[in-house]
Structure 1
């Protein structure tokens, strides 16, 4: 089990990294404790989000903060006992959400966001997964005329980024999506993003492409990683795995490996839930709907998927589906939903850094160690582009995007 590179993590980021390294002639083994695409890459809303040119910042509006403080909203909930432990991270998140620092983060992230669709497209084609992708964009739902006016104004502020969008009144919206309630005033239709009907299936298709091209996949516990004699070692179900280079792409579990190797990276977790619903009366959606209450309704192979906003709680704590229940109650006022498809909600963990940028690149303290994690809400969006950038750096190419803003040494 000797390889040039081992990639720890078989989510969209790890699989994409493995594919790009393989395309550059490296022998690569992909490592995970589960199958490809079975953690966060499975449960998201399936958006390749070309229109998210400004990162999700910590709110600075007093009314919004007070609403969140009551801990009753559907978009953000928190575990009181978790707050003392996460308070330093939240303070740093708040600091980096100042107008100046947010603008800096947006500038750094923009070259990645601009490439997200173009990097997914060839992989979708080569993996035989184009049937899972839709070029229909997504809808920002507005309940009232004043909400629609505010959303129109916000969209106009993004014109400099060259994004395509339409402003729909209620009649136009229901012509496009008959399942939407007549009480909704309208929507902004963002046309640049691509969405998929099963992000887990897309990730698995990319992994199968990697295997068809001669790559290997093994199950192992990445926390047993060790280094010595010029290579990395890891016991696996297939025997001892050895590699000259090791990529940590474990999402919310990345610091379980990076920490013991000397890296104190301030990674926090925003948990989220999803549930599938059968379409009421057989009328489904043709594109995702995004609500200002923090949830997304997205048409999937398994039904209409409701994905929640943010839950601040320990990564491994038991699920608390209160947020999902509240989001469902609101969602039913927006769209005709049938019954729940699954008996229990799915729960996942988004890996988030306080400056709203991932870690991509060389770990300077450890020869042969590389990082690719911390993509927050945009892991599925940015997996292929960040995989390409890291592979370019690892193989001596000049990355298409300056990776200095994403260095682990910034912490």
Structure 2
């Protein structure tokens, strides 16, 4: 019997979930509030990396917070309206910075990120969009060459898992990226990466593939979610849509649908920004992170994009217009020859849990409701594998690994690390 599945959320997570369900023979309806593939992943830095497996909370991160918030170009801001919710989230985030917990999180992130390049290329095969994913390095550029340290926990974990990670001096950095400022004295190069030259167009092309495979895509305001005798009802104003199973992939808007069901999730809308220069006058071969400023630059189809920053704010709050000149200033410092005229400005919402892992799985008391949201900074990379896992869960296909670290109920109590279990 064909399974009827409604996927809520047509961002890249929801689209990849719909594709995996269709490939497995399910009948799929995809519902979202806006155009498919045009939410958080639309405006990111375009990195598709098997090696973006390091959570945001690392040992000693608490020491960096004052500088991140109080510098001339702050990489982190918190709006007052979120402060009450931010305090417990932040404390949980800091708890996750212990080395043994970081390594456990990296294991789980590797499971979701490792196949990202291959899966995107498989999804794009035959669509005409194959050229949108290009091989590249991820260049972590430092003004102080002494800070490019391969023994740091993030690079050590990558190397232990098989990543090709090497140091580059200023001369090598200039050879790789001549447009980069001479202020950068060294870099860590993470090879074996890829980059999306238009994340938004990838979303559009894969959404078209969903339709070509027989899926239905609707743009609606989703008002509520109800358990029924036969499955679930999705209320969209005067319209209701029924399905035996629902996959919730609405990103930062997911908790609002869960709260009437009595489900509370510690998810924050961590907003990111970008500026994109349509006629930059320079071309970048790789994705370049300014490690000090926490931003990433990459050449896209429509210009050069600089993306990053972290702002915690109410999910529907207006963008902070001050971020535009801040990013423009950073871009001009990174690339002295940049033509910075007429930049486009964008803001998107990263759905972030304090452990940098998504919610991917079921709630014990809600049969047929599957979580696939909360991918933080890693949504573009984790989307294809998360979609496969969510599809398997819906269709009852067992996984060959324990998914407990991704369980949506993991925050009911703080999970003990393997290190703590061994000690007890």
Q: TM-score when scaled to structure 1?
A: 0.92
Q: Tell me, what secondary structure is at the counterpart of 2:319?
A: coil
Q: Which residue does 1:221 correspond to in 2?
A: 221
Contact 1:144–1:184 at 8 Å: present in 2 too?
A: yes
Distance 1:199 1:245 in 2: 28
Q: Tell me, what secondary structure is at the counterpart of 1:222?
A: coil
Q: Are residues 1:66 and 2:58 paired?
A: no
Contact 1:77–1:323 at 8 Å: present in 2 too?
A: no
Aligned pair count? 407
Contact 1:211–1:217 at 8 Å: present in 2 too?
A: yes
Distance 1:239 1:32 in 2: 14
Structure-2 change in CA distance of 1:340 and 1:237 (3 Å): farther
Q: Which residue does 1:191 correspond to in 2?
A: 191
Q: Which residue does 1:28 correspond to in 2?
A: 28
Q: Tell me, what secondary structure is at the counterpart of 2:77?
A: strand
Q: Which residue does 1:350 correspond to in 2?
A: 350
Question: How far did residue 337 of structure 1 move?
Answer: 1.9
Question: How far did residue 61 of structure 1 move?
Answer: 4.7
Question: How far did residue 219 of structure 1 move?
Answer: 1.6
Question: How far did residue 291 of structure 1 move?
Answer: 0.9
Question: How far did residue 284 of structure 1 move?
Answer: 1.5
Question: How far did residue 153 of structure 1 move?
Answer: 5.5
Distance 2:279 2:323 in 1: 21
Contact 2:224–2:236 at 8 Å: present in 1 too?
A: no
Distance 1:3 1:396 in 2: 11
Please identify, of 117-126 and 261-270, the stretch whose mean Cα deviation from structure 2 is larger: 117-126
Please identify, of 20-29 and 231-240, the stretch whose mean Cα deviation from structure 2 is larger: 231-240
Distance 2:175 2:239 in 1: 58
Question: How far did residue 62 of structure 1 move?
Answer: 5.6
Q: TM-score when scaled to structure 2?
A: 0.89
Question: How far did residue 80 of structure 1 move?
Answer: 3.8
Q: Tell me, what secondary structure is at the counterpart of 1:254?
A: helix
Q: For residues 330-409 of structure 1, what are the structure 2 equivalents within 5 Å?
A: 330-335=330-335, 336-342=337-343, 345-409=345-409
Question: How far did residue 3 of structure 1 move?
Answer: 7.0
**C-alpha offsets along residues 342-397 of structure 1, whole Å, 9 cap, x if unaligned?**
46x21111001112211111222212111100110001100110110111122121
Distance 1:71 1:233 in 2: 48
Distance 2:60 2:166 in 1: 28
Q: Which residue does 2:282 correspond to in 1?
A: 283
Misfit runs of 4+, over 6 Å: none
Distance 1:88 1:262 in 2: 19
Provide the aligned C-alpha RMSD in A.
2.3
Structure-2 change in CA distance of 1:291 and 1:122 (3 Å): same
Question: How far did residue 227 of structure 1 move?
Answer: 2.9
Q: Which residue does 2:418 correspond to in 1?
A: none
Structure-2 change in CA distance of 1:61 and 1:398 (3 Å): closer
Q: Are residues 1:12 and 2:8 paired?
A: no
Q: Which runs of 5+ in 2 are unaligned?
A: 412-424
Distance 1:210 1:400 in 2: 27
Question: How far did residue 268 of structure 1 move?
Answer: 0.8
Structure-2 change in CA distance of 1:260 and 1:202 (3 Å): same
**C-alpha offsets along residues 185-204 of structure 1, whole Å, 9 cap, x if unaligned?**
13222112211111111111
Q: Are residues 1:202 and 2:222 paired?
A: no
Structure-2 change in CA distance of 1:63 and 1:208 (3 Å): same
Question: How far did residue 156 of structure 1 move?
Answer: 4.9
Q: Which residue does 1:169 correspond to in 2?
A: 169
Q: Tell me, what secondary structure is at the counterpart of 2:188?
A: strand
Contact 1:10–1:32 at 8 Å: present in 2 too?
A: yes
Q: Are residues 1:141 and 2:102 paired?
A: no
Contact 2:274–2:346 at 8 Å: present in 1 too?
A: yes
Distance 1:96 1:130 in 2: 38
Q: Which residue does 2:252 correspond to in 1?
A: 252
Q: Tell me, what secondary structure is at the counterpart of 1:260?
A: helix
Q: Tell me, what secondary structure is at the counterpart of 2:93?
A: helix
